[in-house]
Chains A and B, each alone.
Chain A
Amino acid sequence: MHSRTVWLRGWLRAVVGHVEAKIGLGILAFFGLLALSHPVLLETVWLPGIYDPRAGYDVALSHPSPPSSSHFLGTDAFGKDTFSMLLAGTWPALLAGLTAAVTTAVVALTVASLSAGFRTADRLLGILVDAGLYLPVPIVLLIFGADPRADRLTPFIFGLLFGALTGISSGALVLRSQAMPIMAAGFVDAARIAGASTRQVIFRHLLPALLPLACAYVVLAAAGAVVTQGFLSWLSYTATYNDWGTLVYWAIVTRDFTGALLWHVLLAAGAALTLLTLGFHLLAIGLRRAAALPWSSQPPPVREPRVATVVQLQPAEPS
């Protein structure tokens, strides 16, 4: 037990040691806070009649209105508060990203470890992965969401489908190619000679070694899921209504009375989407750097203090 926690802690320390990962985690935590704060704000500070993300309307202003003290990011053409809608859209985006990440991890790790452990499974799964690489994931999701009568592409279902399709195709490909050298490594041979079964090799040796890389890949998949979901909801192919993509759509479609785009709505939603994706990307960079380090076997490098040593040459004493 003890060695496992040491391993985990070492890895976490290696991840957090990278600036990119710190910033990425910070961004994700920020969005988590935003998602949590929305219901609290609606309960306490905001009047639901004015600030409700679906039906709010402020009679004191003409709409669309630019950012003001009462409406932090202005209102849209229907008189709804932009900031409230932005907060309401945070949870769907996060949920889709996280579900996609978890599903990709489960599917890709299962395929990779099965193919590394069993030769017959490798043959069959190889064909499956190869076929999966022909599938354009965004288009498949479009087809799934295309039925106007059924609102079936909820964030959870979206993440599940995106993760499964990404995991079976490129995720499995990447992790499988990483699993093969691990299975050929000396410590796996040693474990086998000591009498470990394939199952034990997979769970004790392969998966722990594969996990850091899998994390890096999976977080990238989450970023892809967030972008794709934004795109699909922008085309109104998803089931959520309070969604950043939908916000972008309405910002473009409903102009103000001069015919200009609603820039405050558009930029808010676009920036939120870009920032969240950037957070996932930065975290992935940090995770990948940490995975490249031999964190488990070596202590973190100790920096030598820089001390200028002055060597004084003295004439040898005459003996």
Chain B
Amino acid sequence: MLRRYVLARILAGVVGIIVFLTAVFFGTRLLVPGDFADNFAVGGSAGDAARVREALALDRPVWHQYLIWLGRTFSLDLGQNPRGRPVVDQLLEALPWTLMMFVLGLGAAFLIGSRIGRWAGWRKQSLTHTTLGAATLTSVFPPWLVFLAFYTTLNLFGFSSFNDLTALDFNLWRRGPPQQLILWQMMATALLLVGLAIAAIRMLPLKWKVLARRTSFLAIPLLTVWWWSQLGILSYAGDLLAFLTLPVLVLFLLSIGDIVLVIAASMDGLADSDFVLTARAKGLTDQQVRNRHAGRVALLPALSRLTANLPFALGGLVIVEASFARLGGYRIQIPGVASVLFGSLRERDLVVTMGGLVVVGVITLLLRIVLDLIVVKLDPRIKLEKVVVRA
């Protein structure tokens, strides 16, 4: 049943993404003036431009171009930039940076924010209003202000310039492996360990489960670090993590407020509901009722809201990347998808812009499918048969 649901979900996603691609194709045509051929035949004669036009199929009608582009996009060919570099390569190089920041920042924000929200929304406490007020404030803080807050704090603690933290160690990387490779390895090992830990905990007998779950929060990072040292990438990984600390913190602060507010809002009336009373009558402690019973219910609206806000979150990531670049006078570059997008906008490089948008759309699609599966797993009311019939 789950397999059919996943298939139906992917199918619906593909339909959505085709409409999205159509919007991207015609939207960029409308939004960005100028001609592709001009970029490719810089300084050439009119004949050169005509030849480029023919080679790139730009002399065909628009619908034909659209079909060609759609077909190529589905076969993972996003074209090439005017210097002849395939766009896919360019974006694949940038992707691990963006993914790393996104997973770390948003994951930490969700883990910590859902706890704070659960606590603040459970009963009206004296600190509730303060917490929620602070959460509101962080969610309205513009990114550069968050960044500048860090900047001043660092200055207070003796980092005379924040270059210490926003530059990679040049000597380390001069003969080192490509950074993208290290990033992929870091993510793969961490994800593998988390997956293994989840599978192992499920197989344990009940009396070990609680202990294992508690220790795993400490054990998984330690094991990850140990694995990195075995692979010989520990120093590289450490440098990368230090480099990403500030952007991840900014992203964390930008997104945590929203999560706290949503979870606290959906926890609001739950303390008086019937199932909480039942759980309490069973003799569970207040904390158990809050975390296992009410917290699980409150997570659902937060997850669906996160699903709706994913493109905004990715946009926020772009904002953070761009903010760093701008604040550092473009000396600090986080070479993520945003940098590629900005570079393409500066150079009026439409093909790369469209490719960037496609990548953002595909990331959103994948994350949404994952989140939907989590919701199905969490919500006992969703019967999969029904969903499949409707989809």
Tell me the complex Cα distance, A173–B307, Å. Answer: 11
Closest 9 CB pairs of A and B: A131-B19, A138-B315, A277-B140, A130-B16, A136-B311, A134-B361, A136-B315, A146-B345, A134-B20
Q: Once bound together, how far apart are the Cα atoms of A128 and B353, in whole Å?
A: 22
Residues of A within 8 A of B16 (CB): 127, 130-131, 133-134
Q: What is the minimal beta-carbon distance from B243 to any residue of chain A, in angstroms? A: 21
Does A107 interact with chain B (Cβ within 8 Å)? no
- Complex formed: what's the CA distance from A144 to B365 in Å? 23
Residues B360 and A136 in contact, CB atoms below 8 Å apart: yes
Q: Which residues of B contact A227 (CB under 8 A)?
A: 140, 142
Inter-chain pairs besides A133-B308, A270-B148, 14 sampled, C-beta below 8 Å: A130-B19, A131-B20, A134-B365, A135-B23, A136-B360, A139-B314, A140-B31, A169-B308, A170-B309, A248-B142, A266-B148, A277-B142, A278-B136, A288-B265
CA distance A266 to B322 in the complex (A): 18
Complex contact B140–A143 (CB within 8 A): no
Q: Can you give 10 contacting A-B residue pairs, CB < 8 Å? A: A130-B12, A139-B357, A142-B341, A227-B140, A248-B144, A252-B144, A270-B142, A281-B139, A281-B140, A288-B265
A134-B311, A134-B365 given; A140·B140 CB < 8 A: no
- CB-defined contacts of A223 to chain B, threshold 8 Å: 140
Q: Are A234 and B136 in contact (CB under 8 A)?
A: no
Q: How far is the CA of A169 from the CA of B311 in the complex (A)?
A: 10
Q: Mark B295-316, 1 if CB is under 8 A from A, else 0.
A: 0000000000001111110111
Q: How far is the CA of A281 from the CA of B138 in the complex (A)?
A: 11
For residue B141, CB closer than 8 A to chain A, the reply is yes
A274 within 8 A of B: yes
Q: Smallest Cβ distance from B324 to chain A, in angstroms? A: 12
B117 at interface by CB-CB < 8 Å: no
CA distance A131 to B19 in the complex (A): 6
Which B residues are CB-close (under 8 A) to A92? none
Indicate if B326 sits at the interface (CB-CB under 8 A). yes
Within the complex, what minimum Cβ distance (angstroms) separates B272 from chain A? 14
Q: Is A207 an interface residue (CB 8 A)?
A: no
CB <8 Å contact, A282 and B27: no
Chain A residues with Cβ below 8 Å from B307 are 133
Question: Number of B interface residues, CB 8 Å?
Answer: 50
Distance (Å) between the CB of A146 and the closest chain B CB? 4
Are A278 and B364 in touch, CB under 8 angstroms?
no
B308 near A127: Cβ-Cβ < 8 Å: no
Whether A137 and B311, one on each chain, are in contact in the complex, defined by CB atoms closer than 8 angstroms, is yes
Which one, A132, A138, A282, contacts B136 given CB within 8 A?
Answer: A282
- Does any Cβ of B come within 8 Å of A100's Cβ? no
Give the docked Cα–Cα distance between A135 and B357 (Å): 8
Contact A231 B319 (CB under 8 A): yes
Q: How far is the CA of A230 from the CA of B15 in the complex (A)?
A: 34
Pairwise interchain contact B140-A278, C-beta atoms closer than 8 A: yes
Instruction: Report the separation of the CA atoms of residues A22 and B309 in the bound assembly, to the nearest whole angstrom.
Output: 28
Q: Which residues of chain B are within 8 angstroms of A252 by Cβ–Cβ distance?
A: 144, 327
B131-153 contacts to A, CB under 8 A, are 136-137, 139-145, 148
Contact with B along A258-290 (1 / 0, CB 8 A): 000100001000100110011001100100100
Would you list which residues of chain A between 107 and 151 have a CB under 8 Å from chain B? Answer: 127-128, 130-140, 142-144, 146-147, 150
A235 within 8 A of B: yes
Asked whether A274 lies within 8 Å of B319 as measured between CB atoms, the reply is no
Tell me the smallest distance from the CB of B28 to a CB of chain A, in Å: 7
Q: Does A133 contact B311, Cβ atoms closer than 8 Å?
A: yes
Summed over the interface, the residue pairs from A and B with CB atoms below 8 Å come to a total of 126
- In Å, the complex CA distance between A223 and B137 comes to 12
Contact of B345 among A128, A132, A142, A234 (CB under 8 A): A142
| Contact A235 B326, CB 8 Å, known A131-B16, A278-B136 | yes
**Smallest Cβ-Cβ distance to B354: which chain A residue:** A143
Contact B315 A139 (CB under 8 A): yes
Is A77 on the interface with B (CB-CB < 8 A)? no
| A176 CB → nearest B CB, Å | 11
Q: How far is the CA of A133 from the CA of B28 in the complex (A)?
A: 17
- How far is the CB of B151 from the nearest CB of chain A, in Å? 9
Contact call B140/A146, Cβ cutoff below 8 A = no
- Asked if B205 is at the interface (CB within 8 A of a chain A CB), the reply is no
Question: Is A174's CB within 8 Å of the partner chain B?
Answer: yes
A227 to B139, CA, bound (A): 10
User: Which of B19, B32, B309, B360 has the most chain A CB atoms inside 10 A of its CB?
Assistant: B19
Q: How far is the CA of A138 from the CA of B17 in the complex (A)?
A: 19
Instruction: Pick the contact of B19: A127, A144, A285 (CB < 8 A).
Output: A127
Within the complex, what minimum Cβ distance (angstroms) separates B3 from chain A?
A: 22
Q: How far is the CB of B336 from chain A (nearest CB, A)?
A: 13
CA–CA, A278 and B265, complex, Å: 17
CB distance from B78 to the nearest CB of A (A): 16
Which of B141, B312, B341 has the largest number of chain A CB atoms within 10 A?
Answer: B312
Is B52 positioned at the interface, with any CB of A under 8 Å from its CB? no
Chain B residues within 8 Å of A230, by CB: 142
Residues of A near B17 (CB, < 8 A) are: 131, 134
Pick from B12, B137, B323, B348: contact of A278, CB below 8 A.
B137
Which residues of A sit under 8 angstroms from B137, Cβ to Cβ?
274, 278
B182 to chain A, nearest CB (A): 27
Residues of the A chain whose Cβ atoms lie less than 8 Å from the Cβ of B311: 133-137, 169
Cα distance A165–B86 when bound, in Å? 30
C-beta contact mask, B271-315 vs A, less than 8 Å → 1, else 0? 000000000000000000000000000000000000111111011
CB contacts (< 8 Å) of A127 on chain B: these are 15-16, 19
Residues of A within 8 A of B20 (CB): 131-132, 134-135
- Does chain A have a CB within 8 A of B33? yes
Q: Which of A131, A140, A150 has the most CB of B within 10 A?
A: A131
Residues in B with CB closer than 8 Å to A131 are 16-17, 19-20, 23
